[in-house]
Structure 1
Amino acid sequence: MVNGVRYLGRGIGWVARHPSQWVFGLIPALLTLLLFGGLLTWLGFQIGDLVQWMTPFADGWASGARETLRLVSGIAVFGAALFVSLLLFTAVTLIIGEPFYEALAVRVENSVGGAPPEPDEPFWLGLGRGIRDALILGATALAFGVLFFALSFIPVIGQTVVPVVALVVSGYFLTGELTGIAMERREMRRKERFALLKSRRPTVLGFGTATGALFLVPLGAVLFMPGAVAGATLMARDLCQADTSTAPKVA
């Protein structure tokens, strides 16, 4: 897992040495932040009514038990929303910023030996595939979000182990999204990408968990997105080494 964290560090270091590329990569993330920030703020204001609607059976309970249940339920609902948002934030940002991050990934690869040629396909075909993959990811994230929401009601484990597992799971899918730019350029589709990532699970989980943790820091998903894309590009370059001759080992 340490190797995965190192890739993230390399990516952050790369954009730190190229501040103009960092600013360049902030634009799509800022736009997505406005969208998801607005949705989560709305949820925060509505959470009380939502939880009350979800737990009508507790209306006749003693006030202490009722309020405890609804507090735990509110935390679980908001936590599930954060989990889904963490995954969808990256997916939506990559769709909005496809030209930005494609250019950033190419510059990263050119700085360490050269990027493979762009696939010979229409732009809209690649965009449509990205949207389809994002919808599949969204459905998967929602399913996991419901599972973690249910598990969060387990005493102690639901408030300690479950959040950690959720972070690791989200990190795995985050890595799949972020490495998609470089792997798509190598004409690797979603199933092939995740098969490759599965074969290098410790590295992938190290990168994804560290990235997910940074994204949970206020404004972290915006500030660290360019570095995450750069780090994922470097990692994808190495992981694809056996599959393409255009992915030499990063020093």
Structure 2
Amino acid sequence: MGQVRSAGSEFLLGLQLLGRGFARYGRNPRLLLLGAIPAFITFVLFAVGWVFLIIYIDDLAAVVTWFADGWADGLRQVIRFGAGLGILVAAALLSALTFTALTLLIGDPFYEVISEKIEDGLGGTPGAVDLPWYRTLWPNLVDSLRLILLGIAIAIPMFLLGFVPIVGQTVVPVLNAIIGGWLIAVEVTGIPFNRRGLRLRDRRKILRAHRAMALGFGIPVFLVLLLPVVAIIVMPAAVSGGTLLTRRTLGLSIAEEEPARAPHAIAG
């Protein structure tokens, strides 16, 4: 019972960290614009892709259900509806993951500034490895590609489960949110972890020890990233919150430092 309560508390803390990320990011209009630029570029690319996907979804469903061409009309329509839904569910998972990865790659120098400013306000970055952004771009790209490939590997069975009546319309979306939330939490914490010289394997190990907190943070990000336009604002805020999540999992303070005050003059 205590473990359930602890997991619930950690999940809520992850959700709170996302909210605090929004609050910290929103205080600075310059950071608002800075963080929105790469997210907007990625959004335009994905919007075009989704338009084509929706236009041709019936054709794609027919292609993947070629075996049903000779079936009775009603049964063929049911199986192709399930296929179309499965394609959209798998595309949603891949979109959220690849949107995050591509936005982080395009905006690496921008989000590095946002993350570093967050940590500066919390007392700095213990264990920081001082490398220019272009030195970290390739390792970040490799880590992102590994996560995308993992997402593709997971999306395939999710797509196949979409054919199963009831399960495909209920269980699969829930699993999608849980898996997508976890992978996004791993992705958006990449910048603060990499700043400390910690790579993907280290990141996953540390976050796994705080899985409920990572899910409380990542699942809302995953769900909101499915909403058009909103994703432009969510991504930089998620990086801000991911910095707080990183500090929390590393046992560092997430309380903002009070500015030093001049001592009061002593009356003579």
TM-score w.r.t. the length of structure 2 is 0.87
What letter matches 1:7 in structure 2? L
Q: Does 1:9 align with 2:14?
A: no
2:35 is aligned, of 15, 20, 25, to 25
Q: Identity over aligned residues, as a percent?
A: 37
After TM superposition, list the pairs within 5 Å mapping 1:47-196 onto structure 2: 47-116=57-126, 119-121=129-131, 123-196=133-206
Q: Does 1:248 align with 2:258?
A: no
Aligned residues: 246
The equivalent residue for 1:216 is: 226
| Greater mean deviation of Cα atoms: 167-176 or 65-74 | 65-74
Contact 2:108 2:133 in 1 (8 A): no
Alignment root-mean-square deviation, CA: 1.6
1:105 is paired with a residue of what secondary structure? helix
Q: Gaps spanning 5+ residues in structure 2: where?
A: 1-10, 257-268
| Greater mean deviation of Cα atoms: 72-81 or 37-46 | 37-46
Matches of 1:248 and 1:71 in 2, distance apart?
A: 50
CA drift at 1:140:
0.4
| Greater mean deviation of Cα atoms: 146-155 or 13-22 | 13-22
Contact 1:15 1:21 in 2 (8 A): yes
Contact 2:14 2:216 in 1 (8 A): yes
Contact 1:5 1:207 in 2 (8 A): yes
| Greater mean deviation of Cα atoms: 93-102 or 117-126 | 117-126
1:224 is paired with a residue of what secondary structure? helix
Matches of 2:124 and 2:64 in 1, distance apart?
A: 54
The equivalent residue for 2:264 is: none
Matches of 2:181 and 2:226 in 1, distance apart?
A: 11
Matches of 2:110 and 2:131 in 1, distance apart?
A: 18
